[in-house]
Amino acid sequence: MTDPMSDTVRAKSVEELAALIGARALGDTQIGIESVASVGSATLGTVAFVEDLKALENAQDCGASALIVPDGAGERARKIAQKVPAIIEVAIPKLAFALFAKILHPQKQREPSIHSTAAIAESADIALTAYIGPHVSIGENSTIGTGTRIEAGVVVGDDVTIGIDCVLHPNVTLYDGVTIGDRVVLHAAVCIGADGFGYVRDDVAYHKFPQVGTVIIEDDVEIGAHTCVDRGSLGRTRIGRGTKLDNQIHVGHNCDIGERVVIAAQTGISGSVTIEDDCVIGGQVGFGDHIRVQSGAVIGSKAGVLPGKIVRPGVWWGIPIQPRDEYKRLNAHVGRLPQMREELKELRTRVKELEEKLLPNSADD
Amino acid sequence: MTDPMSDTVRAKSVEELAALIGARALGDTQIGIESVASVGSATLGTVAFVEDLKALENAQDCGASALIVPDGAGERARKIAQKVPAIIEVAIPKLAFALFAKILHPQKQREPSIHSTAAIAESADIALTAYIGPHVSIGENSTIGTGTRIEAGVVVGDDVTIGIDCVLHPNVTLYDGVTIGDRVVLHAAVCIGADGFGYVRDDVAYHKFPQVGTVIIEDDVEIGAHTCVDRGSLGRTRIGRGTKLDNQIHVGHNCDIGERVVIAAQTGISGSVTIEDDCVIGGQVGFGDHIRVQSGAVIGSKAGVLPGKIVRPGVWWGIPIQPRDEYKRLNAHVGRLPQMREELKELRTRVKELEEKLLPNSADD
Amino acid sequence: MTDPMSDTVRAKSVEELAALIGARALGDTQIGIESVASVGSATLGTVAFVEDLKALENAQDCGASALIVPDGAGERARKIAQKVPAIIEVAIPKLAFALFAKILHPQKQREPSIHSTAAIAESADIALTAYIGPHVSIGENSTIGTGTRIEAGVVVGDDVTIGIDCVLHPNVTLYDGVTIGDRVVLHAAVCIGADGFGYVRDDVAYHKFPQVGTVIIEDDVEIGAHTCVDRGSLGRTRIGRGTKLDNQIHVGHNCDIGERVVIAAQTGISGSVTIEDDCVIGGQVGFGDHIRVQSGAVIGSKAGVLPGKIVRPGVWWGIPIQPRDEYKRLNAHVGRLPQMREELKELRTRVKELEEKLLPNSADD
């Protein structure tokens, strides 16, 4: 079975691969590697990895041509994974595996071209090396950088700037005036720059609060399918450099998401929330507005953060969020409530008995 | 008012309909039926149903031409629903009603054709009886089965296989290499095969973990609008035969969802989760990664399942999940906390009184 | 930096603006205003606002040409915001600001036209003043009202009615037979009229319950990006006049959402839920089916409402929902559980001591 995602790539030898990342190779280092695979399903021509010695113990039957193992585990690996002709030793096997995958399964390449069905405004500026797919629309004064690939059905509004080497997957929508950096990947149906949710109520109706700001997506951001990032109401909404968003996330108007932030699927972020650099946010988390999450905070899946909160570094769980250990402790206490109730009942009986025997005149209760 | 969803269908007599499902018909069995309706809004020419005797008691004013009732309730129905000329008796009235609806409101038919605006790769293989709508894109080496209907704006990548008699509603996106079985229905903007969410962090950035697997959607699956099923990172993500997913669900990379599983809207499933056959999952449920839900388990809406859990058959509620009865019991205990606190306080007073009166020297507290 | 969202508009004087809403203007009322801005980022040519006197105290450095303040605060504002040449006094500054924004940043206008790439059924009826963008599809017998703007990639099914002055942003999908009122705004990828989620199970499979109803979106509704409103299974699903839905909301079949209801992002509403006029619903709320939320109820974010509930006016939080004060009180009790446990333990010791000293023969426990 061929890998439908990868263009054909000449096999690389284990020696070549190891050299590219400065790793040590043992065994038959001339053997050719064509693709990556998991330990369990690896076959001839593939490279697999184990993260640690424990995982290595389960690699006896691995059928890969090469196995990446932690530094110092090479000899042990040769003993356990006897069918594997070559071993690669490296500090972080999973990282090496990811880098090999980039080489062996390069991103899809498209010949620079503009599909005949694309509708492109005359004032738009498309780099010569860009790819513009079928049924793409590009509005007035928008610019598309070199090497950028825009797949079928994408709609780019007016005055949009897209940097170099980006990939916009099918049916993405970019509203007017948003800015996309370099090497940004937007998966299918991502929506950048829709109006934020703000209204002013009078006696008879809701009036729209202005949503005239914009959105800036910085370099090396990847955004999962169907995620929506709303435009600023007056200022801008920002997704910082190197940040990764999963599918179906909602980012409200005027949020400022820092660099190298990771957010899992279906999390919802109300307006004017700041998440500083290097935070990790689980899935289905809910943020009220005007929250600041400080750099290094980790928020568990399904947590809820009340409006206006400052979330300090540490690990947070629950609705509303508490330090994880506190959350677990309280949860355990709740689990013991039936027993506590029994204890309380028993104690009442004993106290009543004491009272009846020793204070015969105070027959209350 | 005509029904906008249904193509014109010659009316069927009650006798014909009953014969098709082996049901018993009473009364004026020659009366014609053109469409289905609810008991409350039914008019001449429609068939309605009641699930049980209790519902039957509320059908006095029903204006339908025929009413489907449980086996044995026919005579009772004739007495209560006196305006209804015909009664159909059957074991499961709701099922009969669904089957009649299939006959009376057949799926929209399209003449086999390829719209002039569709962009189809030369190497794609489109069945002669398929319908390809406006602004559809189909990539290299993809195949579309007989009778399959692909509505406007759908984007099908390269190396995609789509079976027979499928319906892809507008703006669906299929990434490269995914496989869709027979009679699969994908509602608007469904996304199959986007990259899973996996990165390896080093000192300076997140590096993408390979997402080079694929997705298999088996026969008779129906997937609600805006649901996203990510591709496997190395292996595949699978949605089993006859499974039904509601709107806006997220299915992470390498999940294995069994046959006849039902999942309600907005549920999020992290990577490598297995849900075995015949499970029922509520809406807004969250699954951590590497969970196994055993066949026959039922998980209530808004529940949260911790990573790595094995969920046994039974009914589960809460965050984290507990057996439903346990959940309800603990919830009741929490509701009694104020009272418990009062009891505890009162008990302290009484113990103190005992101590003061009987242990005059131990004046602690 | 120019505002990418706004067409060029002739500056208006403070006097003109104030006159339009019957407000009082102080200071240099002839100064020109071109756009709205926040107090913090306002520059020459902009108008900003403060909601109350407390916010006014932080406006010392405001660089706007005009500042909107509450009635009676004009003189105080002139003292504090000394750089601002003009002050506008009005009852609700935020509302005045919203109205000014409508004037200064008018909605994007498109010349009436039908893009050459649009695919429009011959029987469709498009108003002469409508705008139909690139790659739009419009089905048989659908009608598009005057002044309505349909952006690129939108798919309109058969027998759809769209009123006047609507805006359909890119990649919206309208299924067959739905009705959209006047001045409705649908943001990117909104899906109206997909099948509701209903099946009848027999021994071997799930059979689709008929989804042959429709959807009615009334006048002045705005719906956020990626929100899905399913069609009625037999009757209709309705979104009432003036209601505002945020992004990524799910509205199930046969829901009846009243007028001037506001619902925040990612809320999920099961089938046959009624939400009466003027309710306010937070984000990520989950509704079971057949719930009735009475007019004036407010439900906090992340709440869960059990099937069949009647939710009375008032403020509700939690899973399942409780009155907010009750929720907070119980939550506080849970937080005190460790202390309560300690108290209980201590009390046991003291009771045991009493028993041992005073009832020497009853050495139980």
Residue B179, min C-alpha distance to chain A (Å): 11
Percent of chain C, pLDDT > 90? 92
Distance CA B200, CA A245 (A): 14
Task: Note whether B187 contacts C: Cβ–Cβ < 8 A.
Answer: yes
Task: Note whether B288 contacts C: Cβ–Cβ < 8 A.
Answer: no
When pLDDT is cut at 50, 70 and 90, the band that residue B9 belongs to is low
Q: What is the pLDDT of residues A255-264, one digit of tens each?
A: 999 999 999 9
The three-class DSSP label of residue B143 is strand
When pLDDT is cut at 50, 70 and 90, the band that residue B341 belongs to is very high
The pLDDT value recorded for residue B362 is 53
Average pLDDT over residues B187-199: 97
- B354's enclosing H/E stretch is helix B337-358
Task: Note whether A350 contacts C: Cβ–Cβ < 8 A.
Answer: yes
When pLDDT is cut at 50, 70 and 90, the band that residue C359 belongs to is confident
Q: What is the pLDDT of residues C29-78, one digit of tens each?
A: 999 999 999 999 999 999 999 999 999 999 999 999 999 999 999 999 99
Residue C345, min C-alpha distance to chain A (Å): 9
Q: Has residue C8 got a pLDDT over 80? A: no
Q: Has residue C246 got a pLDDT over 60? A: yes
The pLDDT value recorded for residue C172 is 98
In DSSP notation, C57-112 reads TT-TT---SEEEEETT-HHHHHHH-TT-SEEEEES-HHHHHHHHHHHHSPPP---S
Q: What is the DSSP letter of C122?
A: T
When pLDDT is cut at 50, 70 and 90, the band that residue A2 belongs to is very low
The pLDDT value recorded for residue B355 is 87
The three-class DSSP label of residue C208 is strand
Q: Which of B185, B190, B228, B246 to mutate to test the interface with C (most CBs of C within 10 A)?
A: B246
When pLDDT is cut at 50, 70 and 90, the band that residue A213 belongs to is very high
- Give me the amino acid identity at C365: D
Q: Which residues of A touch B188 (CB under 8 A)?
A: none
- Residue A67 and residue A48 in contact, taking contact as beta carbons nearer than 8 Å: yes
Residue written as token pair 């660099």: A259
Q: State the chains in contact with C (3 or more Cβ–Cβ pairs under 8 Å).
A: A, B
Nearest by CB to B225, which of C214, C228, C234?
C228
Note the residue count of chain B.
365
Nearest by CB to A189, which of C189, C222, C301?
C189
Residue A88, min C-alpha distance to chain C (Å): 46
Nearest by CB to B248, which of C135, C158, C248?
C248
CATH class, range C12-104:
alpha beta
Distance CA C32, CA C355 (A): 87
Task: Note whether B197 contacts A: Cβ–Cβ < 8 A.
Answer: yes
Q: Could you give the angle at the alpha carbon of B167 between the alpha carbons of B163 and B170, nearest 5°? A: 130
Percent of chain C, pLDDT > 70? 96
Q: Say what the pTM is.
A: 0.95
Query: In this complex, how many residue pairs, one in chain A and one in chain B, have their CB atoms less than 8 Å apart?
Result: 197
Q: What is the pLDDT of residues B77-130, one digit of tens each?
A: 999 999 999 999 999 999 999 999 999 999 899 999 999 999 999 999 999 999
Q: Which chain A residue lies closest to B345 (C-alpha atoms)?
A: A344
Task: Note whether A223 contacts C: Cβ–Cβ < 8 A.
Answer: no
Q: How many CB atoms lie within 10 A of CB C37?
A: 25
The residues with which C251 forms a beta bridge, in sequence order, are C229, C269
The pLDDT value recorded for residue C356 is 87
Distance CA B66, CA C142 (A): 33
Q: b/e per residue, C86-123, with b = 16+ CB within 10 A?
A: bbbbbebbbbbbbbbbeebbeeeeeebebbebbbbbee
Query: In this complex, how many residue pairs, one in chain A and one in chain C, have their CB atoms less than 8 Å apart?
Result: 194
Residue B138, min C-alpha distance to chain A (Å): 10
Average pLDDT over residues B324-331: 95
Q: How many CB atoms lie within 10 A of CB B208?
A: 20
Q: Which residues of B touch A36 (CB under 8 A)?
A: 210, 212, 234
The pLDDT value recorded for residue C363 is 47
The three-class DSSP label of residue B155 is strand
Is the N-terminal amide bond of C338 cis, ω within 30° of 0? no
Q: What is the pLDDT of residues C282-292, one digit of tens each?
A: 999 999 999 99
* HSE-CB for B260 with a 13 A CA cutoff: 13
Q: What is the pLDDT of residues C179-203, one digit of tens each?
A: 999 999 999 999 999 999 999 999 8
Distance CA B83, CA B48 (A): 13
When pLDDT is cut at 50, 70 and 90, the band that residue C100 belongs to is very high
- Residue C236 and residue C215 in contact, taking contact as beta carbons nearer than 8 Å: yes
Nearest by CB to A354, which of C187, C347, C358?
C358
When pLDDT is cut at 50, 70 and 90, the band that residue B357 belongs to is confident
Q: Helix B337-358 vs helix A337-358: angle between axes, to the nearest 10 degrees?
A: 30
- Residue C158 and residue C173 in contact, taking contact as beta carbons nearer than 8 Å: no
Architecture of domain A113-324: 3 Solenoid (2.160)
Name residues whose C-beta falls within 8 Å of residue B188's C-beta, 6 or more positions apart in sequence: B169, B170, B171, B172, B225, B226, C155, C173, C175, C191, C194, C228
**CB–CB contact A265 B266 (8 Å):** no
The pLDDT value recorded for residue B7 is 47
Distance CA B150, CA B172 (A): 9
The pLDDT value recorded for residue A361 is 63
The pLDDT value recorded for residue B3 is 45
Q: What is the DSSP letter of A230?
A: P
Distance CA C81, CA A38 (A): 65
Residue written as token pair 């009853």: C362
Name residues whose C-beta falls within 8 Å of residue C122's C-beta, 6 or more positions apart in sequence: none
ipTM for this model: 0.94
Which tokens is B95 given?
């099922």
Nearest by CB to A177, which of C4, C260, C358?
C4
- Residue A321 and residue A338 in contact, taking contact as beta carbons nearer than 8 Å: no
The residues with which A174 forms a beta bridge, in sequence order, are A156, A192
Where does residue A121 rank: exposed (0-12), middle (13-18), buried (19+ CB within 10 A)?
Answer: middle
Which tokens is B146 given?
């007989």
- Residue C148 and residue C131 in contact, taking contact as beta carbons nearer than 8 Å: yes
Q: b/e per residue, C289-312, with b = 16+ CB within 10 A?
A: bebbbbeebbbbbbbbbeeebebe
When pLDDT is cut at 50, 70 and 90, the band that residue A341 belongs to is very high
Q: What is the pLDDT of residues B21-70, one digit of tens each?
A: 999 999 999 999 999 999 999 999 999 999 999 999 999 999 999 999 99
Task: Note whether B329 contacts C: Cβ–Cβ < 8 A.
Answer: no
Where does residue A320 rank: exposed (0-12), middle (13-18), buried (19+ CB within 10 A)?
Answer: middle
- Give me the amino acid identity at B216: I
Q: What is the pLDDT of residues C76-86, one digit of tens each?
A: 999 999 999 99
Note the residue count of chain A.
365
**CB–CB contact A188 B175 (8 Å):** yes
Q: What is the DSSP letter of A234?
A: S
**CB–CB contact C355 A358 (8 Å):** no
Average pLDDT over residues C11-33: 95
Residue B165 vs residues A120, B337, C123, C194: alpha-carbon distances, Å? 35, 58, 27, 19
Q: What is the pLDDT of residues A123-155, one digit of tens each?
A: 999 999 999 999 999 999 999 999 999 999 999
Q: What is chain B's alpha carbon radius of gyration, rounded to the nearest angstrom?
A: 28
- B192's enclosing H/E stretch is strand B191-192
Distance CA B341, CA C343 (A): 10
Task: Note whether A182 contacts B: Cβ–Cβ < 8 A.
Answer: no
Q: What is the pLDDT of residues A7-39, one digit of tens each?
A: 455 789 999 999 999 999 999 999 999 999 999
The pLDDT value recorded for residue B360 is 66
The pLDDT value recorded for residue B365 is 44
The pLDDT value recorded for residue B10 is 72
Q: Look at residues A64, A50, A37 and name the one whose alpha carbon lies nearest to residue A92.
A: A50
In DSSP notation, C218-269 reads -TT-EE-TT-EEPPPSSSEEEE-TT-EE-TT-EE-TT-EE-TT-EE-TT-EE
Residue written as token pair 């405004």: A121
The residues with which C256 forms a beta bridge, in sequence order, are C238, C274
**CB–CB contact A41 B250 (8 Å):** no
Residue B165, min C-alpha distance to chain A (Å): 24
Name residues 227-246 of chain A within 8 A of C (Cβ): 228, 230-231, 234-235
What is chain C's mean pLDDT, rounded?
Answer: 94
The pLDDT value recorded for residue A203 is 87
Distance CA C221, CA A147 (A): 41
Q: Which residues of B touch A101 (CB under 8 A)?
A: 208-210, 212
Distance CA C13, CA A106 (A): 58
Cα pseudo-dihedral B296, B301, B307, B310, rounded to 10: -20
Which tokens is A132 given?
């513009």
Average pLDDT over residues A108-124: 97
The pLDDT value recorded for residue B4 is 43
Q: What are residue C117's phi and psi, to 5 degrees?
A: -90, -5
Task: Note whether B347 contacts C: Cβ–Cβ < 8 A.
Answer: yes
Residue C328, min C-alpha distance to chain B (Å): 12
Q: What is chain C's alpha carbon radius of gyration, rounded to the nearest angstrom?
A: 28
The pLDDT value recorded for residue C362 is 53
Average pLDDT over residues B247-265: 98
When pLDDT is cut at 50, 70 and 90, the band that residue B338 belongs to is very high
**CB–CB contact C340 B344 (8 Å):** yes
**CB–CB contact C338 A330 (8 Å):** yes
CA end-to-end span of chain C, whole Å? 79
Task: Note whether B35 contacts C: Cβ–Cβ < 8 A.
Answer: yes
Distance CA B119, CA A329 (A): 59
Q: Which of B169, B179, B209, B212 to mutate to test the interface with A (most CBs of A within 10 A)?
A: B212
Name residues whose C-beta falls within 8 Å of residue A158's C-beta, 6 or more positions apart in sequence: A121, A139, A140, A141, A142, A176, A177, C4
Chain centroid to CA A247: 8
Q: Has residue C309 got a pLDDT over 90? A: yes
Task: Note whether A220 contacts B: Cβ–Cβ < 8 A.
Answer: yes
Q: State the chains in contact with B (3 or more Cβ–Cβ pairs under 8 Å).
A: A, C
Percent of chain B, pLDDT > 70? 96
Distance CA B252, CA A61 (A): 27
When pLDDT is cut at 50, 70 and 90, the band that residue C355 belongs to is confident
Q: Has residue A229 got a pLDDT over 60? A: yes
- B256's enclosing H/E stretch is strand B256-257
Average pLDDT over residues C294-317: 98
- Residue C241 and residue C219 in contact, taking contact as beta carbons nearer than 8 Å: yes
- A354's enclosing H/E stretch is helix A337-358
Q: What is the pLDDT of residues B132-186, one digit of tens each?
A: 999 999 999 999 999 999 999 999 999 999 999 999 999 999 999 999 999 999 9
Which tokens is B341 given?
């606190």
Q: Which residues of C touch B189 (CB under 8 A)?
A: 171, 173, 189, 191, 226
Residue written as token pair 């709303």: A230
Residue C154, min C-alpha distance to chain B (Å): 8
Residue B60 vs residues A31, B37, B41, B85, B311: alpha-carbon distances, Å? 81, 15, 12, 13, 46
Name residues 118-137 of chain C within 8 A of B (Cβ): 119, 135, 137
Average pLDDT over residues A265-281: 98
Where exactly are the structural domains of chain C? 12-104, 113-324, 325-365
Q: Which residues of B touch A152 (CB under 8 A)?
A: 119, 137, 155
What is chain A's mean pLDDT, rounded?
Answer: 94
When pLDDT is cut at 50, 70 and 90, the band that residue A362 belongs to is low
Q: Which of A46, A337, A347 to mutate to test the interface with B (most CBs of B within 10 A)?
A: A337
Distance CA A305, CA B8 (A): 53
